[in-house]
Structure 1
Amino acid sequence: MNMHQPSTFTYAGAPNTVTAPPLPASNAGWAAAALLFFWPLAFAAFNHSSRVYPLWATGDYTGAQHASDRAKSLGKTSLLLWVVFFVLMVVLYGVVIALAFTMPSTHG
């Protein structure tokens, strides 16, 4: 059985079947991105990423989806923070270089 397909469970003595929603993505890739781009967020991202399947397997489908979404958002946030820091560094270096060229020379 494919883990990403809906599962059907039939309980003994129960005439109805319960269909589980598909397993949400663990978004472990976004957790790895958090590790590369802004490591402090990686702890929470990997924690949420690793909780997706256990929550889904125990029937907490909304909790599993929330953990999946949270891991993804933490990875995207770390990427955004890295981009912001990178742009600020480029601007800072540009300002320093521009000031270096406009300063009068003190060499005689």
Structure 2
Amino acid sequence: MKLPRLVQDAKKFEYPFPITGFLVNAELRANEVIHGYVYSDAKGRFDDGTYISTAPVVYIQVELERHVAHTESGSSYVICNYNFPSSNLNESGVSVEFTDTTIVRH
């Protein structure tokens, strides 16, 4: 499977700590977990494009113009974009993606 452009862009950076995976269409949930499609899972647990729920998030830091979610289990996920579903079921919601210098809303 070819990596989405969002993941390819995020992988260009040299992060100062090990990265567990890259999340696409990340959704922050009330129970402090993130749901999203994971790519390049360093632990080999998930195939590219698998929809996962992370362990509870301890904190999210900005690193190299990207958000990195650190979980209770010790994983670190680069968030390639956020997905904010619409409360109106007739609308598709909002996607927020990162570029090298800005955050772009779609």
Q: TM-score, length-normalised on structure 1?
A: 0.23
Q: Which has the higher strand share?
A: 2
Q: TM-score, length-normalised on structure 2?
A: 0.23
Q: Which has the higher helix share?
A: 1
